[in-house]
Amino acid sequence: MKLLGWVLGLLLFIGGIDDIATVNRLKKQAEEAYQKGDYTQAVQYYQLLVDSMQVQDERVRLNLAHAQLHAGDTATAQRQYSQLMNAESTNIKSVAYQQLGNITTQQQQYQDALAMYKESLKANPANEDARYNYELVKKLQKEQEQQQEQSEDNQDQSDEEKEQQEQQNQEQNEEQSEQQQDQEGESTDEQNQEQQQSDSEQQEGDQQSEEADPQEQNTQQGEEQSEGEKSEEEMSNSPLSERLEEMNISEEKARMILEAMRNNEMQYIQQNRRKPTKPKDRSKPDW
């Protein structure tokens, strides 16, 4: 029994030696890959040490976070650094806070970054990199605040200029409206004057027309008389049958009318002959 126990202990000792050798080999390979800039390969070696070999070395976990950050996996690296915020080694704790400050600085979260650098300096006041980064971020934060204030001032100024521009546009619109109303009023006055002048000219024309009417009427009557005489001449020159046909009178009826007109004319002549040519002398007797 004692022999069996001794054999088992020897085997465990040999296995432990093999594990130590494997851990040391992986650490060396990870460091070489990191130095060469092959951060992806370095992450794989460090991940084997932490996950497979169950290595509880805080420095290995810190190097894993560094490799992940350089490989571009910032979120995973941030989680790894956060697990080292309570590290037993104050140096490793200070570096972890410093790296968290660097990440938040890149994200322009300057207030959080300053808090991380303060914790880094608390853990290790001799960490000059953390102190330098703290002062740098303070300046960046001040510049950011100034830019925000300037931006707000520019916004206020822009709003004020916009308001002034709107007020100026409103005043211009009101002025244009007043000018348009004045122009419309002047145009209306001109139209009224033109209308009055037109009415006056129309009245003068009517008066002149009335004055010219007697002459025009005489001229028109002369023209109508001339046309009548001309029509009678045309009728006298036209054949009797055609004139009677136009008047819708038969020749026999026309003869009767002419005969009656002659008889009337004879009677009128005889009556005129019987009238005394001198006035009657009342001093003489009727006989």
Here the tokens at position 29 are 């390979």
Q: What is the rounded CA–CA span in Å between residue 191 and residue 224?
A: 44
* pLDDT, the chain, mean: 78
What would the pLDDT profile of 98-113 be if each residue is shown by its tens digit? 999 999 999 999 999 9
Better-predicted residue by pLDDT, 254 or 25: 25
pLDDT at 16 over 80: no
The listed range with the strongest mean pLDDT (3-17, 44-58, 142-156, 222-236) is: 44-58
Supply the pLDDT for residue 173. Answer: 84
| Mean pLDDT of the 195-208 span | 68
Instruction: Check residue 56 and report its DSSP letter.
Output: -
Query: Is 0.85 surpassed by the pTM of this model?
Result: no
Helices (H), 37-127: 39-47, 58-70, 74-82, 90-106, 110-123
pLDDT at 76: 96
Q: What are φ and ψ of residue 34, in 5° steps?
A: -65, -40
Res. 33: pLDDT tops 80: yes
How large is the average pLDDT for residues 66-73? 97
Domains of the chain: 15-146 (1.25.40.10)
| 3-13 per-position pLDDT tens digit | 434 333 333 33
